[in-house]
Amino acid sequence: MKPLLSFVTAFVLFLNSANADYLTVQRNGNLRKEASTESEVLEKIKIHDTLLLLDPNQTDNGYYHVVSYASGQEGFVFRTLVKKIDGDIENPFTPANVDAVVDIRVLDVGPGLATLIKLPQNKFVIYDAGGSGAVNTLGQIKEYIPAGSDIELMIVSHTDADHLIAAGRVIRDYKVKKVIWPGYERSMISNLDPTNAYDEFIDFLNNSTTEKVNLNQLDSNIAPGTKFKIGDVTFTFLCGFGKPLDEWNLSEQGEKLNSVSIIMKLTFAGKSVLFCGDAVGRHLNDPETSLIATEKFLIDNAVDLLRSEIIIAPHHGARNASSTAFVEAVKPEYVIFSAGHKFSHPTKRTADRYLSLNPPSTIFRTDRGDDEGTATEWFGSRIQGCTDKTNDDIVQIQLRSNGTYRVYYLIPGNVCAQ
């Protein structure tokens, strides 16, 4: 595989050629990193997309080496997905800056959340490193981010183990420059000790040179609209709390721990992704119109910042989040539920609130096909008797410098259906 920028000069000459062969996509499929069905999917390609040939000859196993017209992404496409066209492309263009692509990977870690953000020039940010097991989550992280790499920032949305179970090991195995977390944990409101995952996180953090921002220790909250930039990518914090606000009057331990979640919005080339942790917006059995705690704070103090094309939905699609007012303010085109075979997530009531938008959202879930046998779990993509496993429903988001974006599963087929 050539370095990403190596083809640009040849690409321009190619466009100026009198016989610049190209491909049109005939069937939806995948642009892959290497010429193999086992290779990583770089992006989805759709019918009528245009691909420019870097090499007019197929590989031995039937792949073309191409560049995507829309994104500037270089990769390989299988011959049966495309039709070869001889002659000049109808609309010559300047190739996209292939370094100006933001990839966001929502890992499939079971009932939990771990998201990896790859910025131009191979800079990385992590928002939550949780899941059902530290070994599994760390293994998935290392598949995407080479061990020992610099991590510009790690945000731990709150202290539940399913959002930080591998966070300590990330600090151990990577050069994490800065960590921000609420610092509010269960021993502060109960007779229980901190979770083992939280203790491990703090132990590794204390033995590192990582800059530490513990909101509880600082007796501080994050002001809505607080921004920082890495290159052309803007991160906007919408909220984050050292402890629940008194006016929320929360009494249940889980609601208190979830409500302090750090909410972050990533914006690149005019498109945004909203990261919601386990934000609280409703009590479990509230009417659909209820609005409380974190989501009420956002509606009252940051409503103009909420609109996003893509949302990683609060609390895995649980009933006590994604209130009607919140959903209508975000108005996402794509919704991702990070869930597993537990708790009947995402719930039907929550999914229906997103689907009721005009036009309705498109939903992805990291427990595709999962069937827990309950009436409360959303029926979308459920397969009777399916017990979802981890690492087979990774969701990839790609934001490009030309303002286009895609959301797709790295593995197109549903494993339970095979």
Indicate the class that CATH gives domain 8-85. mainly beta
Residues of the chain with pLDDT under 50: 1-20, 89-99
Query: What is the edge-to-edge ordering of all strands in the sheet holding 271-275?
Result: 226-230, 233-239, 263-268, 271-275, 310-312, 334-337, 362-365
Residue with tokens 């132990």: 203
Structure confidence at residue 402 (pLDDT): 83
Structure confidence at residue 417 (pLDDT): 62
Structure confidence at residue 87 (pLDDT): 59
Structure confidence at residue 3 (pLDDT): 28
Pairing of strands 50-55, 22-25: antiparallel
Q: Which stretches of 302-343 are DSSP H helices?
A: 324-330
Q: Which residue pairs from 196-200 have beta carbons closer than 8 angstroms and sit at least 24 positions apart in sequence?
A: 196/161, 197/134, 197/161, 197/164, 197/165, 197/167, 197/168, 198/159, 198/161, 198/164, 200/134, 200/168, 200/169
Structure confidence at residue 108 (pLDDT): 97
Q: What is the pLDDT of residues 280-326, one digit of tens each?
A: 999 988 887 899 999 999 999 999 999 999 999 999 999 999 999 99
What's the CATH code, domain 101-417? 3.60.15.10
Structure confidence at residue 352 (pLDDT): 95
> Which of helix, strand or coil describes residue 284?
coil
Q: What is the pLDDT of residues 177-203, one digit of tens each?
A: 999 999 999 999 999 999 999 999 999
Task: Give the CA distances from residue 263 to residues 83, 127, 224, 239, 273, in Å, rounded to whole numbers and listed in that order.
Answer: 45, 10, 9, 5, 11
Q: What is this structure's pTM?
A: 0.80
Domain spans of the chain, in order of start? 8-85, 101-417
